[in-house]
Chain A
């Protein structure tokens, strides 16, 4: 593993050495967001100057505020009508079967009686796509949910399948939040396990695995919480090293023919296409395939001279400035052998 971490460090910093100085306007915007100049230069390399500027200047209003209706308890229409009565204005978020966009709100949707009764939960528009990309099997075998956090996606998986969902996270506090979310939303099929997803060894292989890996949160730049994070190239490389470790361990638990969705709330190529390319290179029998989604831009397979797999273009990228979602990347892997 140490050897792999060193290799990743070398490959990434070699790529970063090719970055030109960012244009003055971009550098200034980036500094305001606590970003190193060269960190911002990556965005110009990926998106071009105009779109990079648009991304860095994007605010919370550029992203749809969405909720996910808990279809285990109510229909999308019923919840929409109930919220309209409370003074909200909502409309269907069509790339999902249960999303609603909040157009106007008299108060926070996280404080309504409907939320507390578990009729819906707060979830970003891009975040909902990761579970749709997984296509859980309705009455299938157990699903493995790695780095589950407070279980927002685990409870979403439970809307698709009655199969057991094994949610793993290293943080006890987050798992307690998961326990509360499962009670509020009424999902009896989630088991919360405290463990390190990078090293855990389970004596089974799974047909569906979701890995929502910890990341730099580059996709959350338009949101206030995303603006508070300081971003450096060293921080980025450390994240990538962990992500490769997590994905390799997840892949070892994938059954033949099984699907593993790797997702991050980041649009950094390093954290996404590079990570899955490394996993394909190191773990035999893994391939990438396009996620079955109705939204998004194709993945990147040519960037800063990094060794990226040809199929990395099958990843799906979501951007605030293009799709009105938080920045997100979703890659769907399958074990063929």
Chain B
């Protein structure tokens, strides 16, 4: 019952985030799967008929992993987008575009300093402080969090595509 409630809440947060970052996920199905870190959200196009064939099977993943609904540092539940969601960004309302050097450093896990930023569209008040990081081609390379505490914008690295290599899987 709780898992179902968590799934509904996760989907609500996903809808909000998708609107802010311009991700289109409405063309596919979303599935909630309980995992070790929280509720994993998968975007998939696998038909119900196919899933019926697999109802007894040990399924590890459905389509593309797009987010995890988990407990944050302050104990509150939050939705963390994963790299798979980057595939579905179309016209972002909020983003940061960075130069080539900053993009390379970002994929090594580093934060983005003010001099690496080409264009910044701050998240509107109603959006979470998470924004896609775009490289010099305007293609997404990860997720960042805007930090304005130093007076100038710094983009903290939340997750970058270099993770695919660093994860070792």
Task: Note whether A and B form a binding pair.
Answer: yes
Candidates B50, B63, B164; contact of A180 at CB < 8 Å: B164
Name B92-117 residues within 8 Å CB distance of A: 103-104, 107
Is B167 in contact with A180, judged by CB distance below 8 angstroms? yes
B94 to chain A, nearest CB (A): 20
Given contacts A118-B87, A166-B50, contact A175 B60 (CB under 8 A): yes
Is B54 in contact with A166, judged by CB distance below 8 angstroms? yes
Size of the chain A interface, CB-CB below 8 angstroms: 36
Chain B residues near A172 (CB-CB < 8 A):
60
Selecting from B6-14, B39-47, B68-76, B119-127, the interface stretch reads B39-47
A189 to chain B, nearest CB (A): 5
Name B65-86 residues within 8 Å CB distance of A: 65, 82-84
Binary interface encoding of chain A residues 69-91 relative to chain B, with 1 for a CB under 8 A from any of its CBs, else 0:
00001000000000000000000
Is B84 in contact with A183, judged by CB distance below 8 angstroms? yes
Cα A110 to Cα B44 with chains together (Å) = 26
Cα A173 to Cα B45 with chains together (Å) = 24
Is A116 in contact with B161, judged by CB distance below 8 angstroms? yes
A143 to chain B, nearest CB (A): 10
B92 to chain A, nearest CB (A): 16
Q: Is the interface of B mostly helix, strand, loop or mixed?
A: mixed
Is A193 in contact with B28, judged by CB distance below 8 angstroms? no
Binary interface encoding of chain B residues 131-169 relative to chain A, with 1 for a CB under 8 A from any of its CBs, else 0:
000010001110000000000000000000110110101
Name A281-309 residues within 8 Å CB distance of B: none
Binary interface encoding of chain A residues 169-198 relative to chain B, with 1 for a CB under 8 A from any of its CBs, else 0:
000110111111011101111111111000
Q: Does A202 contact B (CB under 8 A)?
A: yes
Chain B residues near A186 (CB-CB < 8 A):
64, 84, 87-88
Cα A189 to Cα B51 with chains together (Å) = 12
Q: Does A159 contact B (CB under 8 A)?
A: no
Cα A117 to Cα B141 with chains together (Å) = 7
Candidates A113, A175, A176; contact of B103 at CB < 8 Å: A113
Is A193 in contact with B63, judged by CB distance below 8 angstroms? no
B119 to chain A, nearest CB (A): 19
Cα A182 to Cα B51 with chains together (Å) = 18
Name B26-66 residues within 8 Å CB distance of A: 28, 43-47, 50-51, 53-54, 57-65
Is B141 in contact with A116, judged by CB distance below 8 angstroms? yes
Residue of B nearest to A72 (CB): B87
Is A182 in contact with B63, judged by CB distance below 8 angstroms? yes
B70 to chain A, nearest CB (A): 17
Q: Pick from B62, B82, B107 the residue with the most CB of A within 10 Å.
A: B62
Residue of A nearest to B160 (CB): A116
Given contacts A118-B87, A191-B54, A192-B59, contact A180 B46 (CB under 8 A): no
Chain A residues near B53 (CB-CB < 8 A):
142, 166, 202-204
Is B64 in contact with A183, judged by CB distance below 8 angstroms? yes
Chain A residues near B161 (CB-CB < 8 A):
113, 116-117, 184
Q: Does A124 contact B (CB under 8 A)?
A: no
Chain A residues near B57 (CB-CB < 8 A):
193-195, 200, 202
Cα A164 to Cα B165 with chains together (Å) = 27
Q: Pick from B28, B57, B65, B107 the residue with the most CB of A within 10 Å.
A: B57
Chain B residues near A184 (CB-CB < 8 A):
83, 161, 164
Q: Does A337 contact B (CB under 8 A)?
A: no
Is B104 in contact with A164, judged by CB distance below 8 angstroms? no
Cα A289 to Cα B13 with chains together (Å) = 52
Chain B residues near A166 (CB-CB < 8 A):
50, 53-54
Is A113 in contact with B141, judged by CB distance below 8 angstroms? yes
Q: Does A135 contact B (CB under 8 A)?
A: no
Chain B residues near A182 (CB-CB < 8 A):
61, 63-65, 84
Is B50 in contact with A164, judged by CB distance below 8 angstroms? yes
Chain A residues near B54 (CB-CB < 8 A):
166, 191, 193, 202
Is A183 in contact with B83, judged by CB distance below 8 angstroms? yes
Candidates A162, A164, A179, A200; contact of B60 at CB < 8 Å: A179
A206 to chain B, nearest CB (A): 10
Is A175 in contact with B61, judged by CB distance below 8 angstroms? yes
Residue of B nearest to A177 (CB): B169
Residue of A nearest to B84 (CB): A183
Cα A82 to Cα B60 with chains together (Å) = 34
Cα A267 to Cα B40 with chains together (Å) = 42
Q: List 20 A-B contacts (CB under 8 A).
A: A116-B161, A117-B139, A117-B161, A142-B53, A164-B50, A172-B60, A176-B60, A176-B169, A182-B65, A188-B64, A189-B46, A190-B61, A191-B61, A191-B62, A192-B59, A192-B60, A193-B54, A194-B58, A202-B57, A204-B53
Chain A positions near chain B (C-beta within 8 angstroms): 73, 110-111, 113, 116-118, 142, 162, 164, 166, 172-173, 175-180, 182-184, 186-195, 200, 202-204
